[in-house]
Amino acid sequence: NAGVTQTPKFQVLKTGQSMTLQCAQDMNHNSMYWYRQDPGMGLRLIYYSASEGTTDKGEVPNGYNVSRLNKREFSLRLESAAPSQTSVYFCASSEEGTSGRAFTDTQYFGPGTRLTVL
C-alpha cells in the first residue's frame, strides 16, 4: 500500500515550457486535491476533484489545468510555465463516503514535486 505517489520528484523547466505532474493513490479514495506550497504562504489549493469525473477550482487555479483520469489518478498540467509557478506541489486524497462532498475526511498527502521554472 503505497498511499499517494507523485512523479516526478524534481523538475526544472524553462519559461513557456509545458509539463504534467502525475498523482496516483491506491486507497480507493473518492476525492483528490492539488496544492502548492510556497515559503511564507503555507499550502494553497489549486484544484480538487470531489469524485471521479468532476473537478473544481480552488484558491489559485490560474495557469493550471487538471484531469481526473480515473478514480486513482489526478494530474496537474502547466501549459506555459512561468517563474511564479516555481513551488513545491502536493497531491492529496481523502476517502469521503457517500456524501459526494470533498474536504470532509482526512486528507493524505503525497511526498511532493519540487518544480523550478527558470
Partner 1 sequence: QQQVKQSPQSLIVQKGGIPIINCAYENTAFDYFPWYQQFPGKGPALLIAIRPDVSEKKEGRFTISFNKSAKQFSLHIMDSQPGDSATYFCAASRTGNQFYFGTGTSLTVIP
Residue numbers of the site for partner 1 (CB under 8 A)? 4, 40-45, 48, 58-59, 90, 92, 99, 101-104, 106-112
Grid cell in block for residue 102? 470533498
| φ and ψ at residue 30, rounded to 5 degrees | -85, -35
Q: Would you say 80 or 116 has its CB closer to partner 1? A: 116
Retrieve residue 41's grid coordinates: 504562504
Segments in the chain forming alpha helices (H): none
Which H or E run contains 109?
A: strand 108-109
Q: How far is the CB of 80 from partner 1 (least distance, A)?
A: 26
CB of 24 or CB of 92, closer to partner 1:
92
CA atoms 49, 15, 116, 43: torsion sign: negative
Least Cβ distance, residue 6 to partner 1 (angstroms): 8
CB of 114 to partner 1, least distance (A): 9
Q: Which is nearer to partner 1, 14 or 40 (CB)?
A: 40
CB of 15 to partner 1, least distance (A): 26
DSSP helix/strand/coil, 3: coil
- Shorter beta-carbon distance to partner 1: residue 48 or 64: 48
Alpha carbon distance 3, 18 (integer Å): 27
